[in-house]
C-alpha cells in the first residue's frame, strides 16, 4: 500500500518505510524508524519534529542555560541500545551532578526512541569518563 500524507503521526504508527519528497523529488528514504531517529534533510527534520519531540533552541535554550547552568548534553537512545538510566548511573559514579531539563520518549513503529537534554555539573574529566563508559550504545552530544 502506498500512502501519501503529511500526517507524520500516521507514518510513525503504520509505515515500514518512508519516502520524503520536496518539489517533486525524493530527498530522503528508508526504514521509518531510521529516518525518524536520524533525519538528514531540512524538510525531513521539519516533518519529523511534528512527531519526535524537538529539543529547545534559540531563546528557549538560552533561558534554560540561565536557569540551570552547567554543560548541556543531549542523550539519544533507542530500544535496542542502553537506556538513559545507564548514563545517569555513570554520572553518579563519577561524582557529576545532572538535571533532566527537557525531552521525552517516543514510539515509532512500536520501537522506543528517547531524546533528553541534561545539564551536567562537575569535573570535566569525570564527565568524560562517565560518557565514555556508555557512549557505545547511546548518542551523547554536547550542546554548544
The number of beta carbons lying within 10 Å of the beta carbon of residue 142 is 11
64-109 pLDDT, tens digit per residue, is: 999 999 999 999 888 766 677 888 888 999 999 999 999 888 888 8
Q: Taking residues 118-137, what's their average pLDDT?
A: 90
pLDDT band per the 50, 70, 90 thresholds, residue 17:
very high
pLDDT band per the 50, 70, 90 thresholds, residue 135:
confident
Separation of alpha carbons 112 and 118, rounded Å: 19
Phi-psi region of 122 (alpha: psi -120 to 50; beta: other; left: phi over 0): left
pLDDT of residue 81: 64
121 or 87: whose pLDDT is higher? Answer: 121
22-57 pLDDT, tens digit per residue, is: 999 999 999 999 999 889 999 999 888 888 877 888
pLDDT of residue 62: 93
User: What structural domains does the chain harbor?
Assistant: 8-48 (no CATH), 58-143 (3.30.70.260)
Q: Could you tell me the pTM of the whole model? A: 0.79
Q: Taking residues 131-144, what's their average pLDDT?
A: 86
Contact between 37 and 76 (Cβ < 8 Å): yes
Amino acid at each position: 500500500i502506498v500512502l501519501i500524507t503529511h500526517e507524520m503521526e500516521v507514518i510513525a504508527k503504520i509505515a515500514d518505510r518512508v519516502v520524503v519528497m520536496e518539489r517533486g523529488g525524493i530527498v530522503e528514504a528508508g526504514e521509518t524508524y531510521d529516518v525518524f531517529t536520524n533525519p538528514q534533510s531540512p524538510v525531513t527534520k521539519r516533518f519529523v519534529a511534528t512527531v519526535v519531540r524537538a529539543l529547545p533552541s534559540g531563546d528557549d535554550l538560552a533561558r534554560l542555560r540561565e536557569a540551570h547552568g552547567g554543560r548541556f548534553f543531549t542523550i539519544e537512545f533507542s530500544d535496542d541500545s542502553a537506556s538513559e538510566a545507564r548514563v545517569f548511573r555513570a554520572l553518579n559514579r563519577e561524582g557529576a551532578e545532572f538535571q533532566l531539563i527537557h525531552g521525552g520518549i517516543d514510539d515509532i513503529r512500536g520501537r522506543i526512541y528517547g531524546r533528553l537534554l541534561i545539564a551536567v555539573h562537575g569535573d570535566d574529566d569525570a564527565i568524560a569518563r562517565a560518557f565514555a563508559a556508555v557512549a557505545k550504545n547511546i548518542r551523547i552530544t554536547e550542546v554548544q
